[in-house]
Structure 1
Amino acid sequence: MTKIDRVKERVAYLKVWLGIFVVTIISLIGWLVSNYATAKVLLVVLDSVAILILAVAILLTHKEINRRIDELENL
């Protein structure tokens, strides 16, 4: 497999994970909006922490995808 093909496959793989992260964060935000008034404080805190962790994961994955795309331009 050529280096270009490997980088393209890596970008495709990262895009799958980015999609999973986005869907998960949307679900967690939806749960939080729907249940913040009735949920236990611990669940709200854990949900908020998970949202923050996923937001960081989305940003890091996005940066990695951009880095790989820039790498493709240099090949």
Structure 2
Amino acid sequence: MKKETALSLIIWAKRLLGAIAFLLWGYVIVMISQSPAPFIEQAPYCMGSTMLIFGVLTAVYKGLDHWSLQNK
């Protein structure tokens, strides 16, 4: 029963983290796009924030996958 609870917790943690990452990414993109700077100056911030947010999400997902494999 404990393994089933851990696997369920991992699945819900992935869903929650994915939603948080998407909302955070959307917020950052909106904040950057509202800047008065031209697009050529905003582009590196858009790309950098996207890579950072989803890079961290990928690393956390890998950690959760590793944890789920240990609980099988």
| TM-score using structure 1 length | 0.56
1:28 CA displacement: 0.4
1:68 CA displacement: 6.7
Is the Cα contact below 8 Å between 1:21 and 1:58 reproduced in 2? yes
Segments of structure 2 that go 5 or more residues without pairing to the other structure are: none
Which residue matches 1:59?
58
Letter paired with 1:6: A
Is the Cα contact below 8 Å between 1:18 and 1:58 reproduced in 2? yes
Aligned residues with identical type, % of pairs: 9
Distance change >3 Å, CA 68–CA 11, structure 1 → 2: farther
Segments of structure 1 that go 5 or more residues without pairing to the other structure are: none
The reply to whether residue 16 of structure 1 matches residue 16 of structure 2 is yes
How many residues end up aligned between the 2 structures?
66
Give the distance between the partners of 1:4 and 1:62, measured in 2 at CA.
18
Give the distance between the partners of 2:11 and 2:63, measured in 1 at CA.
8
| TM-score using structure 2 length | 0.58
Q: Please report the RMSD computed on the Cα atoms of aligned residues, expressed in angstroms.
A: 3.3
Letter paired with 1:60: A
Give the distance between the partners of 1:10 and 1:25, measured in 2 at CA.
22
Which residue matches 1:4?
4
Distance change >3 Å, CA 35–CA 64, structure 1 → 2: same
Summarize deviations over 1:25-62 as a string: whole Å, max 9, x none. 11101111221518xx8xx6xx9286132121233344
